A and B are shown apart, each in its own frame.
Chain A
Amino acid sequence: MDPLELKSIIERGLPGAIIEVHDMTGGGDHFEALIVSESFEGKGLIERHQQVYNAVGDAMRARVHALTLKTLTPAQYANRR
């Protein structure tokens, strides 16, 4: 899978999120994603990652072997820079 395709799949599930996806190995199945979304507000890491996994849906089982996630709220993202 192309990183841009994965990005658009995640965007569909988390509208309005800032999303960066990198292919870690160039093989199209190991990705790293930074996702900044208001929907993470008030949620723990488990719930945030589950939101992303749900957005990726069946592709998570079939086409994505590994997805390393960094999930931030807009406030956390602002503090980070």
Chain B
Amino acid sequence: MAEVIDRIQSSITRNKITIFMKGTRHFPQCGFSAATVAVFEELGVPFETVDVLADPELRDAIKVYSSWPTIPQVYVNGQFLGGCDIIRELHETGELRGLIDSALAQPVAQ
């Protein structure tokens, strides 16, 4: 378990925006993961994705890590920002743009 937590922390701190999802950015395997990626594509910001289907241990651990039972999960500067509904809601209200812009302006976490 400790090793997989290290991997999660390394992903979310190495990248400004990390999306844990089902499938890959170009081949999402779930509508909710696809919708989440589409929001970030639309914002035109750089992001990394991690395919939890390729790693069952990670798929379980990420749910425990943020006390969040569903995939996708979006992390910005090391902080859990939300799942698909929250990302869509923040995008609709326009808040997401501001959050992401200020996150990208900050130095890398740690």
Contact = CB atoms under 8 A, between A and B. Distances in A.
Interface of A: 45-46, 49-50, 53, 60-61, 66-70
20 contacts: A45-B86, A45-B89, A45-B90, A46-B81, A46-B82, A46-B86, A49-B68, A49-B83, A49-B85, A49-B86, A50-B67, A50-B68, A53-B68, A60-B69, A60-B70, A66-B32, A68-B84, A68-B85, A70-B85, A70-B89
Name A's interface SS.
Answer: helix
Contacts, number: 31
B47 interface: no
- B interface, size bucket: 10 to 19
Interface string B54-90: 0000000000000111100000000011111110011
Contact of A53 (B32, B69, B89): B69
Interface of B: 32, 67-70, 80-86, 89-90
